[in-house]
Every structure is written in structure tokens, then in C-alpha cells.
Structure 1
């Protein structure tokens, strides 16, 4: 018996590290050809070397909608289809609004919101077409955050706003595309070991690990794979995943 995603093609943004890297590995493990999108080519090439000939490398900044559209077109030209899109690329700057740089706010909007919009827009027609094929289903999964459900403190201000935005977009897209058999899912992680948490500083990370624990990127990849491997009749629209001891 083959893997559950044999013959499919998946695009993962932010694939050079963390959740994106773990998701690419997990999807490839289920038989998918995985297109790796991120800015850091060296890391993508190293990952592609692990995944084998079915993977491809696309050096792109998701905030550049034209570059993303070209990358998606390249994927479809190479493989002839696109079955799964994982919008994972993200950027976070957790500082109080007073004294924050406006450029940081704009970067969060450009990556977390406009990046999701641009990538999804470029992929939609291909996903709808794939859903008419033998498998009969296609998937869009966006990695959001617990902050997309609840503002847990003042420092998450713009980050939380971007995650609320993609949640609303995903829900509207779900309502629109269900009859086309394109499933739309949202995964909302709590604290995960990543460059974002590591960027908070060693002391803060050590405190978070001691008090709450940190999930591993593979924990979130598992949730994504669960979503996209359900039977055609079943759509999992949201998965909220927290460390066991994380209260909010």
C-alpha cells in the first residue's frame, strides 16, 4: 500500500527552517513531491538533498507577489499540478507599540498577511483544477497562531492582528471553495521551538521551556499532515495546538 499523498504536489512556504522544514519532510514522507519556498537557498538545497528528486527549490520572498506567482508557475510547469499549499512563512516582532519601529509592523503585514494572500492567489486556479482529478480534493493550510484567537498581551499587537486577518481570510475562503472540493484549514500553534522563540533570547526561552514547555516543529507538521490526508468527504477546518501546560 502506497503513502497517502503518492502522486501529489505540495508547496510549502517558509520551508528553510522550523515548522516549514518539518512539514516538507512530513509531506514527502507521505509520498508528495514538495516544492520548497523560502529566501535562504542554501538551506533549501540542503533539505532538497535529503528529500530527493521529487523536491524542488524556489528562492523567493513571500512578500514579493510577482516572484511568488513565478515560483508557483514553475512548480506547475515542472510537475503538471498542485494539490496542497501550506502557507507557513511568517515573521513576528513582540514589542510594545510605544517605541516600536513602523518598519517592523509593515514587515509583519507584508509577510504574514500579504504573503498568504499572494501565494494563495497564485495557487487557487491550480488547486481547483487538481480537485477535479482522480484524487478529487485539494488543500490550502495556513499556519496561524494562538495569537490569532486571543490577544494574550500588549506586545503581540500587530502580530496578533496579522494572525486574526489570515483567520478571517481562511474562513471566507473555506465557505467559497468547499463546493470546488478545495479544503481550507487553519493550524494555530502555541509555543514552538523555532527561530522566533529563539530570537526572544536565551533567558526568555529557558524560562518558557521551564514553565510551559515548547512543542517541536514536527508536532505542528503532524497536524498539517492530518488535515491534508483526510478522506475526500472530511474537512478539518481548524486545529489549535498548545504545549500541555500553556494556559493562554
Structure 2
């Protein structure tokens, strides 16, 4: 593999856990970070996809393990963190990546979708913090990378609940940063439009078609976001990249 020496020095040997790692940004980050020498602990609901990703990483000389998990379960997040500590003896980074976006107009009153969005996008991040923060305190080092969205910077029509969930992630992450102290880093990654299957969960056909056209027209490849994540992680321990906003050049 051709790997930048500076990247290797900052990521080599780190143990990194990722939620929502079965596709999209999570999968791209797992592959990228493994190429940089990290040991990966990946979790998602789709174990078949996770197994394939681990096999791919191992075939390229990397190290990875996987666990079936759902971020709406606090116990599952604890298990993912425990797996990292038991297998590799520590946890350097937790990437809270899992997210959903069943976007719809508020008038449709899809209350169950609203609840699921908050449960996954916001409470899932909190459960990740609850699982990893005591470990990071005990180790006296650690790094949270929380995936938000440009929807957490600007609210647009039909995305009120989704946007609210991502505004919350940014607020929680900033509060965590201020409380974290000198040895725990906190990074918010706020991607714009990315070429993933994220929109497949949108129940409103018209909204889904509109967002699909935008995604297909200008969306970033997930690998671009993975590079931003790697950039934050590879920094020296006394450098905390607080937030990266990464969007297509053509996105307003």
C-alpha cells in the first residue's frame, strides 16, 4: 500500500471503533483507517456486510473485528467498546457514525419516524459517549469523532426533525469538548451531500426523488469524508480538530 508517512505516524496502531460501519461513510472510514495501520472494531446491524469488510481489510494485511449492534441499544454500544478493549487492550477512537434520515414534511405526522431519527442520530451518539467516556478517562486518552451533517448547520424544508437531530449532535459534541479536559479530543464531522444509500429510507417518494437527483448530480464519494476523518485522527495528541465541514463545491 502507498501510505503517507505522516498519516501512518498518527494512525498506526490506534484502535478505532465505528458504528454504522456496514456501508457509506462508515465502511469507507474503516477501509481508509485500516490502510493507515489502525486496528478496527466495526459495528452495524448487517453482519453479512461487516464480515465482508473485515475480510477485505484482512486480505490487505490489516486487522479488524466486527460485532452485530444497534445504536439504539446502550448495551450494544457498551459491548462494542468492551470488544475493542478485550481484543486490543485499549480504545483510541470512537466514531459515532450511525445515522438515518426518514425525511418528510411535518404535515405527514410521521411521529414514529421522528422518534427513530432521534433514537439513532442523537441518542445513539449519547450512548456511544456513555460507553467510551469512562474508558477514555481511565486510559487518560481518547478521541470522539461524531458524524453530524450540514443539516446541523442549516435547516431546510422537509428536514426539520433530521436537522434537529444533527444540531443536537453538534451541541452535545461541543459541550463534551468543553468538559473533556486536556487528554480527550472531540471532533465533529459535518458532511454535505454524499453518494450513499442514505435516502433509501425516505418514505415520501417526491422528496426521495428530489434528493436522489441532488445526490447523483453532485454528491461526494464516501471516501472524501473518510479522508477528513483520517485527517482529524492523525493529528498529534495535543491538537484537537474541533469541526470539519465537508461538502461538494457545487452545494450551496
On whether the aligned pair clears a TM of 0.5, the verdict is yes
Aligned to 1:56: 65
SS in 2 for 1:110: helix
Long gaps (5+) in structure 1: none
What is the distance in 1 between the residues matched to 2:111 and 2:52? Answer: 35
Is 1:142 matched with 2:146? yes
Label 1:62 to 1:230 Cα distance change in 2 as closer, same or farther (>3 A). Answer: same
Cα separation, 1, equivalents of 2:81 and 2:145: 16
1:71 aligns with 2:80: yes
TM-score by length of structure 1 reads 0.90
Distance, in Å, in 2 between the alignment partners of 1:209 and 1:42 is: 26
Equivalent residue, structure 2, for 1:97: 106
CA contact under 8 A between 2:96 and 2:146: conserved in structure 1?
Answer: yes
Partner of 2:220: 215
The Cα RMSD (Å) is 1.8
Structure 1 contact 84–127 (Cα < 8 Å) conserved: no
Deviation of residue 67 (structure 1)?
2.0
State how far apart, in whole Å, the 1-side matches of 2:138 and 2:63 are: 21
Alignment-derived partner of residue 12 in structure 2? 6
Say which SS state the counterpart of residue 50 (structure 1) adopts: helix
> TM-score scaled to structure 2, two decimals?
0.89
Equivalent position SS for 1:219: helix
Structure 2 gap ranges (5+): none
CA distance, structure 2, for counterparts of residue 48 and residue 17 of structure 1: 12
Say if 1:198 and 1:205, in contact at 8 Å, map to a contact too: no
What's 2:185 paired with? 183
Distance 2:189 2:201 in 1: 22
1:30 paired with 2:59, answer no
How far the C-alpha of 1:207 sits from its partner, in A, is 2.7
* CA–CA separation in structure 2 for the residues paired with 1:228 and 1:222: 10
Does the CA-based 8 Å contact 2:102-2:199 persist in structure 1?
A: no
- Please list every run of at least 4 consecutive aligned residues from structure 1 whose deviation after the TM superposition is greater than 4 angstroms: 198-203
Which position in structure 1 is the counterpart of 2:242? Answer: 237
| 1:48-93 residue CA offsets vs partner (Å, 9 max, x unmatched) | 0011162011100010111221222122111110001101000111
